[in-house]
Amino acid sequence: MATIELRQVEKKFGEAHAVKPLDMTIKDGEFIVLLGPSGCGKTTTLRMISGLEAVTSGNIFLNGRDVTWLHPSERDIAFVFQFFALYSHMTARENIAFPLQAQGENKAEITRRVAEVSNMLKIEHILNQRPGSLSGGDQQRVALARALVRKPAAFLMDEPLGALDAEFRETMRAEIKQLHLRQHATTVYVTHDQIEAMAMGDRIVIMSNAVVQQIGTPAEVYHDPANLFVARFIGSPGMNLVKGQYANGIVNLPGGSKIDVPTLYRQRLENALKDTNGEVIVGFRPEALRANAENGSCNAKVYADDLHGGFSMLHLELADGIIVHGRMGRDVSYPIGTHFIFDIEPSMIRFFHPKTEMAIHANGSGQ
Amino acid sequence: MAATSQPQPGYYVNYSTRVDKVGLRPRINTAIRAIIAVIITIIVLIPVVWLGMTAFKSRPDAVASPPRVFFEPTIEGFVFLLTDRRQLSESEIAEYRERTDLSLPDQIVLERGQAIIGQSDFGRQLLNSLIIAGASTFFSVFFGLLSAYAFSRFDVPGKDDLLFFILSQRMLPAVVVSIPVFLMYREVGLHDTHFGMILLYTSFNLSFSVWLLKGFIDEIPREYEEAALVDGYTRLQAFRKIVLPQAVTGIAATTVFALIFSWNEYAFALFLTSNVARTAPPSIPTRLGTGGIEWAAVAAGSLAFLIPVVIVTFALRKHLLRGVTFGAIRKG
Amino acid sequence: MSDIRLENITKRFKQVTALDDISLHVNDQEFFVLLGPTGAGKTTTLRVIAGLEKQDEGHIFFDDMPVDTLQPADRDTAFVFQQYSLYPNMSVYDNLAFPLRSPLRKTPENIIKQRVTEAAEKLRISHLLERKTARLSGGEMQRVSIGRAIVRQPRVFLMDEPLSNLDAKLRESLRVELKHLQKTQGSTSIFVTHDQIEALTMADRIAVLNEGKILQMGTPHDIYDRPATTFVATLVGTPRINLFNVQRNNGSLHITSSPLHLPVPAASIPEQLLLGVRPEDVRIEGDGSFDGTVALIEPLGVETIVHIKCGDQTLLSVVPGAASHRLGDAVRFNLARERLHYFDVGGSRLI
């Protein structure tokens, strides 16, 4: 059992806030991802949970036990580092056995546990090699084995895939996730890569500038971002965000495009936009565009057409300097400069307040 | 389940390895650290302060046992350091006592029955130190910089062996070769010459210079110069405009270390100089007066000797701090 | 702007052959990408073109003129490094002006000012001109690096993974800008990267390198749709291509360790081969001809990667939007026959 709870946990370096007071509850067996750009506070938060960093104020609970001031070794957690942190003068086997030796386990038990995790991670064949002669992916597997061998209450991982080549990253991502599905161990995972976060997380905690922006499942943060930051950060590319003018159930976008506002949103918009004179920010993801040459309500000029492999990404200029992205199949090509007429899938349109940057939710769906 | 632990103010040991970490109670920590720093500084400075005091003591005060902390200051030490004197006969002493045109120094030496006949050679020796140490520091840093750059950037054949050879020179205690060098110098007529000493000090400093500076230059990314090369600069210009400004801290650190070595050097100075090129270190301890060593004069000489190096180090202190920590703390 | 031709370039470092008989031709105004994993030789190729390394064999031509004996300064190329290209003790303006102030060029100050302000505008860094470079963000620094190359108005831009050290989001936006800049300037550019998305989206043509050799050269479509080797096939495309060992027996192809069978596409197919299927060509359909179980689900929002276990093999499939399947569900799927890739056991494309 390993629930982790953070209550008003805060970190300051001198006067600068690295993490503003944050509350978070991680359920037993959950794979939670701390996501954000460099410097947002995610790594600091992880380090506070581990004990490698002292909190400035607030409390951390592990299974109901207040661990805020405990030494990292007393918290029953295992830490996996981005740059593996393997002991280069020891073999892989000795690296994995190390934590158990430090705890004073007997030799037979150590051998058994090492064999168990090596089998799980399929690294039996490299146990006698030194880290220096192993590939990045294998090194990270050894680092994972070293964390696993202790059977800790929780795993803390600090961008473990960051130092690996792209092909390893995909494989290791699936491996770590499958490991989690089998072990059901509570895991806190830090990354700046939103694709990793979406693929692996049960829930994602998005941070920016020391503040939590949104906590939600991948589907929630993708389809219902709480603010402009989340809308931009999640998805590659991020959500298209265009400033428009709302009046009588229609939003007018620059360049003459129009969007029909679904009835669900109309009342909310009228209320929320009172102080902006009707100005609103419309958000829609690239896959929400539907080509409609006959009677589409939006039009733009093709600025660029990129092949992404299985699909194409169109860069469309609505008006001077305002570019949106549309995800299209590869079969049709769109030459630069041609006119593109389209609609936006109504269920995929979102609205944001231009001043507060917060999402404006549909009627009856809460804050 | 293990018992919960309560936070103890000031008790929590921070395991963070980040340089900019802040302790649990910053105010208490800083105060404790300040006190410890002051105590250590006092302990380190006591000999220097004692030296300074001794320079201004009279002869009996200087050798008093137990040591005198409170005393009446006098410039006796300096006078005996900077003047040559002769012993006066009984009649001359009486005669001098009558005179009213005696300056303070004259009066002081008269107390001992002596008269000043001129300046001692200490001033000249101090000047020799300045010239020899200064010149050798300059040359060792200059040539060291060029060699270090070459070792760092170019594929010199036998580079590793050469570098080790240079390093091995540092392992050589100066005293061991002082006799052979003495014989060599006497043979070629370099004994007791400024040039000879500068040459010797430069050679010895070079090994240190090259190693230290190579370390600093290695830290300067090659891309800087390569970008300049591609942009149309010659290598020498790239060196001047890009590498040099970046290497300033390294050069400052190397200069200070080289200067300190040359300045304090004793063994070679003792063997290889006598009159013309004698530097201060061998001469300071030999300030003889009537009845033994003039301790106040020795202290005065040491104090005067300290000052130039202190000034240089103080002037370069900002660079030194950066230079010493440069390799250790790097943003990832 | 120039066209660049490399003929049989070989470069060795002590025991290692970094470049092995490389020949390629970059057309004037083309955006040419060298793609490959770390250590493939792409950076070495770039440095040889710039003159920062000298090749052991082979020749380099700029507009049909051999440049082998020319110093880097005389080749008139601009180099953008991955990092450390800005001089920290100078302002942004001085950094941009630095190449023009070189004694080789002797540009008068008013021309310098003009070019610098133009470049700053194009890269949207005009507001940073007076700042010291140490106080810029990663993205701003790379913009200045690119600006420094632009002011030179060189014959060719050489860029060595300039976006690799930036955050994913920054990389996306700078990528589009760079491509647009190149298209509007009409500058010949050679761009090195290990990121296949960068290669596919930015390049007019790509050369895939590995271990000092060129494996394939072509447009992004060529590389993606008709990879010449299994290495190229796995390198390009996310999620990575599914690759299987296949045996031919009794008139059909059988994927080892699985119950999957496929018809033989041509008589020339050998007994043993490798089969590649891209995840978007593994289509989960109610009436699919094959069965499997869901082993893992990776929801990416715009699409979902479904790992399907079939026998002892696992196939990756992408499903648009969200997948309604759960772990352990049985699924049926099809393989888009016309989009299969056949390779011999050595890894070379068959048909």
CATH (domain of A343): 2.40.50.140
Give CA B228 to chain center in angstroms: 37
Q: Which of C51, C52, C98 sits opposite B231 (nearest CB)?
A: C98
Residue C295 CA to residue C344 CA, distance in Å, equals 29
Q: Are residues A88 and A130 in the same domain?
A: yes
Is the per-residue pLDDT at C192 higher than 90? yes
Mean pLDDT value across residues B55-75: 83
Q: Which ipTM score applies to this complex?
A: 0.88
The pLDDT value given to residue B288: 67
Asked if residue A92 belongs to a domain, the reply is yes
CB contact under 8 A, B233 and C102: yes
Question: Which of A232, A262, A297 represents a domain boundary (last residue)?
Answer: A232
In this prediction, residue B226 carries a pLDDT of: 86
Look at residue B10 in the predicted model and tell me its pLDDT. 39
On whether the CB atoms of residues B245 and B156 are closer than 8 A, the answer is: no
Q: Long-range contacts: A138-144, Cβ < 8 Å, 24+?
A: A139/A84, A139/A86, A140/A80, A140/A84, A140/A164, A140/A168, A140/A172, A141/A172, A141/A175, A142/A84, A142/A86, A142/A92, A142/A95, A142/A96, A143/A80, A143/A81, A143/A84, A143/A85, A143/A86, A144/A80, A144/A176, A144/A179
Residues A302 and A291: their CA atoms lie apart, in Å, by 13
Q: Is the residue at A367 inside a domain?
A: no
Are residues A265 and A207 both part of a single domain? no
B157 at C interface, C-beta within 8 A:
no
C213, burial (CB in 10 Å: exposed 0-12, middle 13-18, buried 19+)? middle
Nearest to A2 by CA among A122, A150, A145, A143: A150
Class for the domain spanning C4-228: alpha beta
Task: Count how many pairs of residues, chain B against chain C, have C-beta atoms within 8 Å.
Answer: 57
Reduced to 3 states, what is the DSSP secondary structure of residue C21? strand
Peptide bond into B285 cis (omega under 30): no
CA gap C86, B227 in Å, rounded: 9
**For all residues of chain C together, what is the average pLDDT?**
90
Q: Which chain A positions have a beta carbon within 8 Å of B8's beta carbon?
A: 69
Is B245 touching C (CB cutoff 8 A)? Answer: yes
Q: Would you call C84 and B224 a contact, using CB atoms and an 8 Å cutoff?
A: yes
| A-contacting residues in C 25-64 (Cβ below 8 Å) | 37-38
- C37 CB neighbours in chain A (<8 A) are 165, 167
CB neighbour class for B97 (10 Å; exposed up to 12, middle 13-18, buried from 19): exposed
- Check A54 against B5: CB less than 8 A apart: no
When mean pLDDT is compared across A300-304, B44-48, C178-182, the lowest value belongs to C178-182
* Whether C327 contacts chain B with CB within 8 A: no
Query: Are residues A291 and A160 part of one domain?
Result: no
Q: Do B226 and C98 touch (CB under 8 A)?
A: no
Measured between beta carbons, which residues in chain B are less than 8 angstroms from residue C78?
230-231
Per DSSP, helices labelled H in A218-297 are 218-223, 228-233, 263-272
- Nearest-by-CA chain B residue for C158: B230
C-alpha distances out from residue A353 to A223, A361, C137, Å:
17, 10, 28
Closest by Cα among A190, A186, A189, A217 to A62:
A186
Can you give the pTM of this predicted structure?
0.78
Helix (H) or strand (E) holding B146: helix B122-153
CA dist B227 and B243 (Å) reads 12
- Chain C, nearest residue to A173 by Cα: C298
Contact list in B for residue A71 (CB cut-off 8 A) is 15
The CATH number given to B122-281+304-325 is: 1.10.3720.10
Q: Which residues of B touch C81 (CB under 8 A)?
A: 223, 226-227
Distance from CA of C173 to the nearest CA of B (A): 24
Distance CA C35, CA A196 (A): 23
Given a contact cutoff of 8 angstroms between Cβ atoms, the answer to whether A95 and A101 are in contact is no
B44 Cβ contact partners less than 8 Å away, ≥ 6 residues apart: none
CA distance B190 to B184: 8
**Is the distance from CB of B231 to CB of C151 less than 8 angstroms?**
no
| Residues C301, A219: C-beta atoms closer than 8 Å | yes
Tell me what pLDDT residue B77 has.
83
Residues 6+ apart with CB under 8 A from A79: A50, A52, A72, A147, A156, A157, A158
What are A136's two structure tokens? 């990045």
Chain A residue nearest residue C323, CA to CA: A219
pLDDT band at C101 (very low <50, low <70, confident <90, very high): confident
List chain A residues with CB under 8 Å of B17: 52
In this structure, are strands A350-352 and C189-193 parallel, antiparallel, or unpaired?
unpaired
pLDDT at B327: 44
Residue A219 Cα, gap to closest chain C Cα (Å): 6
Indicate yes or no: CB of C85 within 8 angstroms of CB of B224. yes
> What pLDDT is attached to residue B27?
59
> Final residue of a domain: which of A206, A232, A258?
A232
Q: Specify the residue for token string 């995800």.
A: A327
Nearest to B271 by CA among B192, B184, B153: B192
pLDDT at B94 over 90: no
Mutate to test the interface with B, among C43, C47, C52, C62 (most CBs of B within 10 A): C52
Query: What is the C-alpha to C-alpha distance for residues C94 and A167, in angstroms, rounded to an integer?
Result: 40
pLDDT over 70 percentage in chain B = 87
Contact yes or no for A53 and B16 at CB 8 A: yes
Of C79, C84, C89, the CB nearest to B245: C89
Expressed in angstroms, the distance from the first to the final Cα of chain A is 33
Looking at the structure of chain A, the number of domains it has is 2
Predicted confidence at residue C82, as pLDDT, reads 84
Instruction: Band the pLDDT of B142: cuts 50, 70, 90.
Output: very high
State the pLDDT at residue C292: 94
Neighbouring chains to C with at least 3 Cβ pairs closer than 8 Å: A, B
Q: Does C155 touch chain B (CB under 8 A)?
A: no
For residue B80, give Cα distances in angstroms to A280, B130, B298, B306, B320: 90, 22, 9, 18, 37
Q: Could you tell me the CA-to-CA distances from B207 to B316, C26, C33 in Å, in that order?
A: 22, 49, 46
Residue B138's pLDDT is 95
Domain ranges in chain B are 59-119, 122-281+304-325
Residues A147, A295, single domain; the answer is no
Residue of B nearest to A58 (CA): B7
DSSP 8-state secondary structure symbol assigned to residue C235: H
Locate C219 and state its tokens. Answer: 């447009």
Domain C242-343: which CATH number of 3.90.1150.200, 3.40.50.10140, 2.60.40.180, 2.40.50.140? 2.40.50.140
Q: Does C137 touch chain B (CB under 8 A)?
A: no
Distance CA A235, CA A204 (A): 13
Reading the block at residue C178, the tokens are 């760079």
Q: Is the confidence at residue B19, as pLDDT, over 50?
A: no
Question: Which residues are bridge partners to C320 per DSSP?
Answer: C303
List pLDDT tens digits, range C285-333.
989 899 999 999 999 999 999 999 999 999 999 999 998 999 999 999 9
Straight-line distance from the first to the last Cα atom of chain B, in angstroms, rounded to the nearest whole number: 40
pLDDT along chain A (367 residues), means of 10: 91 89 94 92 93 90 90 85 83 88 85 88 89 86 87 90 80 90 92 93 96 96 95 92 91 91 86 88 94 89 86 89 89 85 93 92 59
Please state, in angstroms and rounded to a whole number, the distance separating the CA atoms of residues C254 and C267: 15
B7 with A52: Cβ contact below 8 A: no
Percent share of chain C, pLDDT over 70:
100
Residue A1: the pLDDT is 65
Decide if C25 contacts C60 (C-beta within 8 A): no
**Three-state SS letters, C286-325:** CCCCEEEEEEEEEECCCEEEEEEEECCEEEEEEEECCCCC
Q: How far is B239 from chain C (nearest CA, A)?
A: 13
A361 touches chain B (CB under 8 A): no
**What is the per-residue pLDDT for B289?**
65
Q: How many CA atoms lie within 13 A of B118 on its CB side?
A: 3
Q: Which of A121-135, C19-33, C78-92 has the lowest mean pLDDT?
A: C78-92
Does residue C192 belong to the interface with chain B, where contact is any CB pair within 8 Å?
Answer: no
DSSP assignment, residue A363?
A: T
The minimum CA-CA distance between C40 and chain A, rounded to whole Å, is 13
Cβ neighbourhood burial of B161 (10 Å; 0-12, 13-18, 19+): exposed
Q: How far is B154 from chain A (nearest CA, A)?
A: 28
A215: containing domain: 4-232
Nearest CB among A51, A63, A65 relative to B15 is that of A51
Across A102-127, b (16+ Cβ under 10 Å) vs e yields eeebeeeebeebbeebbebbebeebb
Q: Which residue has the higher pLDDT, C220 or B69?
A: C220
B230-243 pLDDT tens trace: 888 888 888 888 88
pLDDT, position B324: 59
- Chain A positions touching C180 (Cβ under 8 A) are 303-304
- For the segment B90-112, the average pLDDT, to the nearest whole number, is 82
Domain boundaries, chain C: 4-228, 242-343
> Would C4-228 and C242-343 be classified into the same CATH topology?
no
Residue pairs between chains A and B whose CB atoms are closer than 8 Å: 38
Model confidence pLDDT, tens digit, residues B166-184 = 888 888 887 888 889 999 9
Whether the pLDDT of residue C242 is over 80: the answer is yes
Q: C122-145 pLDDT, tens per residue?
A: 888 888 888 888 778 878 888 888
Decide: residue B75, CB within 10 A, 0-12 exposed, 13-18 middle, 19+ buried. Answer: middle
Among all chains, which residue has been given the structure tokens 């590793």? B160
Note whether B3 contacts A: Cβ–Cβ < 8 A. no
| Residues within 8 A of A (CB atoms), C 318-337 only | 318, 320-322, 327
Average pLDDT over residues B216-223: 87
Note whether C167 contacts A37, CB cutoff 8 Å.
yes
Collapsed DSSP state (helix, strand, coil) of residue B70: coil
At B325 the pLDDT is: 57
In whole angstroms, what is the distance from residue B181 CA to residue B189 CA? 12
From CA B224, how far away is CA C83, in angstroms rounded? 10
> Of A232, A261, A292, which one is at a domain's C-terminal end?
A232
Biggest CA-to-CA distance, chain A: 77
Of the candidates C224, C238, C301, which has its C-beta nearest A234's C-beta? C301
Spatial separation of the C-alpha atoms in residues A188 and A250, rounded to whole Å: 43
Rounded to an integer, what distance in angstroms lies between the CA atom of residue C211 and that of residue C38? 9
pLDDT, tens only, B241-295 = 888 888 888 899 899 989 998 999 888 888 888 888 888 888 887 776 666 778 8
Euclidean distance between CA atoms B78 and B56, whole angstroms = 8
Q: Give the residue with greater pLDDT, A205 vs C38.
A: A205
CA distance A326 to A341: 12
Query: How high is the pLDDT of residue A328?
Result: 92
> E strands along B72-213, which residues?
83-87, 114-119
Give A66's contacts in chain B (Cβ within 8 Å). 4-5
